[in-house]
Amino acid sequence: MSFGQNVAATKIELFKYKKSSQVAVMVQKILDDKRKVLLKNIEEMIEEASKARGGIWEPLQDIYSSVNEAYLALGSSTVDSVAESTPSVMEVDVNVRRVVDVKIPALSVTEKDTKSMPYGFADTNSSIDRAAKQIKELLPKICKAAEYENSIFSLAKALEKTQKLLNALENVIIPQYQQKVRFIIATLEEREREEFAKLKKVKAKMESR
């Protein structure tokens, strides 16, 4: 629907603008509901993310301490060699769920079926064993924290887009539709008054004859 200055003041155009205005108001309501749901989910995600982050910093410090001990005791070349030659024992699967119409990745961590540590003990020490065990225990929590952080970012982008559309509807589109409707109604009413006045004059002339 064009919002140009020239508006055909006809009943057909009046019907079109009224219908468009009604649709715009309906879309506004839908978007406002979506905005509220997004806000609620973002608030919940922020709370969960805060909890998830709070549960990983202390264990991470322990892991850094264990790795640092291993570097000091065995040397960087040995530790790096063990890290490069060790096959992965954890798998991270990514699934997608939807919040409103926003795709949110959901991470799930599974441990491969391994009976023992996937490296030899001759050139390692307890620091590496401890660090490996700590990382295995912490990885699911790290992934969960990352999932929340990414979800917040995706939902925030959707919220921003939704708010822009709402602003356009509330401040531009709906007011312009309503303005066109008022203009057409006023023009049609003025025409009716003019036609009525003309009819009165014609009737008066006919009666005078």
**What integer pLDDT is reported at residue 2 of this predicted model?**
44
Give the residue carrying structure tokens 């939704």. 162
**What integer pLDDT is reported at residue 113 of this predicted model?**
62
**What integer pLDDT is reported at residue 165 of this predicted model?**
95
Q: In this structure, which CATH number among 1.10.287.3240, 3.30.420.40, 3.40.50.1100, 3.40.47.10 belongs to the domain 11-203? A: 1.10.287.3240
Block means of pLDDT (10 residues each) for the chain, 209 residues, are 64 93 95 95 92 84 85 79 72 85 86 58 68 84 89 94 96 94 92 82 74
Question: pTM (2 decimals)?
Answer: 0.71
**What integer pLDDT is reported at residue 196 of this predicted model?**
79
CA 128 from centroid of its chain's CA atoms: 41
The answer to whether 56 touches 141, Cβ cutoff 8 Å, is yes
**What integer pLDDT is reported at residue 27 of this predicted model?**
95
The answer to whether 13 touches 7, Cβ cutoff 8 Å, is yes
**What integer pLDDT is reported at residue 9 of this predicted model?**
86
**What integer pLDDT is reported at residue 3 of this predicted model?**
45
All structural domains of the chain with their residue ranges: 11-203
